[in-house]
Amino acid sequence: MLETGTKAPAFSLPDQNGDMHTLEEYRGKKVILYFYPKDSTPGCTKQACGFAELYPQFMEKGAVVLGVSKDSVKSHKNFETKYGLPFTLLSDPEKEVIQAYDVWKEKKNYGKVSMGVVRTTYLIDEDGVIVKAMDKVKAAENPKQMLESL
């Protein structure tokens, strides 16, 4: 996990519509950048729907919500449509941004060890600096925690 006070790594990734997004285009806004393992799984759905429910409040506070996983653009589109997600989902199948933000880790599940995305959320300030970093977040609680952090 990246430390608070460090400059957030730059990125350029496609969203659920295939449009490219860079961190630089959000300069001047607070960015909630959350990394999650997989579209449409129970925990990831809970987290995404939590951000969706609180989205108007994030907007009121001048914050942008960006979800990142290694799922495809098409998978993100299906996830967005199925749950009516009002925010941007970024596709990182090559794991370049996932690795730059240090969230690709060894995970243990029922004694089986594998590599995967550790659910992590960063709050990036208007100047592109990480001001809050949370790893191993609880999916259902994370959106509310991030709103309180603003």
- Residues marked active site are found at 44
Cα–Cα distance, 87 to 55 (Å, whole number) = 8
Burial class (CB in 10 A: 0-12, 13-18, 19+), 72: middle
The beta-strand segments (E) located in the chain are 12-14, 20-22, 30-35, 63-69, 88-91, 104-109, 112-117, 120-124, 130-135
